[in-house]
């Protein structure tokens, strides 16, 4: 098969598919030496029960009768802090601002070695509920222009602590990357009068070549123009721009879909490193009809080289249709 170049309908980004560089799915698997089985509790881990003296404070938590299930704490080494101002100032030719924002850690479980791929739907649902609580609380502050919820799993994905956790960062500005995605969706809506993400979802449901899992609220699929092998989008069927609008029923369905997808990645690729991000609207754009939130998973199976860095175009040796079939275990 010859190379093919595909365009991401939502961003207009191009992706090169190079079958000549194709690897078998098993070539992406971690080796046994890379797979580590940590203990249930680590006395040196600040996120483990009994080590609360290592934490700056506890912002909130969900508790069972005997102990906590999910806990939110400030990041001990924050990228941004709430004490500053979001006012811009000049430095000669340049513009700058203080490092205003919030940087929190969602500790997903008391167990040091219980990653989401092996959690129950109820356990995953508990930390999704906490995502939602902190997201809505922080958006009540007018200074917080954008909130990004993300998870880094594994050393290649940027994690520094093994204990299962996610992070949440609120910023006083909206990055160009987010604005660009919003503006591209706006152009599509202005031309066609429809949400580009709804159109993508409809097409994926009709073709069914790249779908991995589906329930009454969400569809998980490998996107047509996936930038990396085994990239997955989990997209709500209900058109909403803002993650804050998720219902309790949808939280349960998202937990079910996320569990299945992460479990498939874990079992078929030997627990690959990955990042996931909840892509949602910025502050004040939550009711706009062109935007649609979704959760994006990007396994860390490749390293970008000179062409990708210089051009901004990804080279993916793995075809989305084959990745989806492999994850469906066909």
How far apart are the C-alpha atoms of 273 and 296, rounded to whole Å?
A: 14
> What values do phi and psi take at 180, rounded to 5?
-65, -45
291-308 as b/e: b if 16+ CB within 10 A: bbbbbbbbbbbbeeeeeb
Check: CB of residue 242 under 8 Å from CB of residue 303.
no
| Angle in degrees, 0-180, between the axes of helices 176-192 and 196-207, rounded to the nearest 10 | 80
Q: Residue 219, Cβ neighbours under 10 Å: how many?
A: 21
DSSP-assigned states of every residue in 132-200: HHHHHHHHTSTT--EEEEEEEESGGGT----S-EEEEEEESS--HHHHHHHHHHHHHHHHHSS-HHHHH
CA separation (Å) from 170 to 59, 81, 188, 261, 274? 15, 9, 28, 27, 22
Residue identified by tokens 């396994």 is 299
Catalytic residue from among 102, 112, 163, 165:
165
2-39 as b/e: b if 16+ CB within 10 A: eeeebebbbeebebbbeeeeeeebeebbeeeeeeeeee
How far apart are the C-alpha atoms of 43 and 283, rounded to whole Å?
A: 40
CA separation (Å) from 156 to 44, 159, 165, 298? 22, 8, 16, 11
Is 165 a residue of the active site? yes
Residue 214, beta-bridge partner list: 219
How far apart are the C-alpha atoms of 114 and 45, rounded to whole Å?
A: 14
Q: Residue 131, Cβ neighbours under 10 Å: how many?
A: 23
Q: Which residues are catalytically annotated?
A: 165
């Amino acid at each position: 098969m010859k190379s093919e170049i595909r365009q991401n309908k939502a961003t207009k980004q191009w992706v090169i598919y190079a079958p000549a560089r194709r690897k078998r799915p098993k070539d992406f698997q971690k080796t046994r030496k890379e797979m580590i089985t940590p203990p249930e509790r680590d006395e040196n881990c600040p996120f483990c029960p009994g080590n609360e003296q290592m934490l700056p404070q506890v912002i909130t938590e969900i508790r069972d009768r005997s102990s906590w299930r999910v806990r939110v704490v400030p990041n001990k080494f924050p990228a941004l802090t709430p004490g500053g101002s979001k006012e811009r100032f000049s430095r000669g030719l340049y513009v700058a601002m203080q490092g205003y924002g919030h940087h929190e850690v969602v500790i997903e479980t008391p167990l040091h070695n219980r990653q989401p791929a092996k959690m129950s739907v109820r356990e995953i649902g508990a930390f999704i509920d906490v995502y939602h609580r902190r997201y809505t609380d922080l958006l009540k502050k007018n200074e917080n222009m954008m909130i990004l919820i993300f998870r880094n799993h594994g050393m290649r994905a940027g994690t520094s602590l093994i204990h299962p956790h996610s992070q949440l960062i609120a910023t006083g500005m909206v990055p160009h990357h987010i604005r660009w995605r919003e503006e591209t969706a706006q152009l599509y809506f202005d031309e066609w009068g429809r949400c580009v993400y709804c159109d993508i979802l409809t097409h994926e449901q009709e073709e069914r070549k790249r779908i991995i899992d589906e329930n009454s609220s969400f569809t998980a699929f490998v996107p047509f123009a996936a930038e990396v092998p085994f990239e997955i989008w989990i997209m709500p069927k209900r058109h909403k721009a803002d993650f804050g609008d998720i219902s309790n029923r949808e939280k349960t369905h998202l937990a079910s879909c996320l569990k299945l997808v992460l479990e498939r990645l874990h079992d078929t690729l030997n627990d690959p490193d990955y990042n996931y991000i909840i892509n949602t609207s910025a502050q004040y754009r939550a009711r706009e009809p062109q935007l649609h939130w979704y959760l994006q998973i990007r396994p860390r199976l490749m390293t970008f080289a000179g062409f990708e860095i210089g051009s901004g175009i990804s080279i993916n040796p793995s075809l989305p249709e084959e990745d989806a079939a492999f994850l469906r275990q066909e």
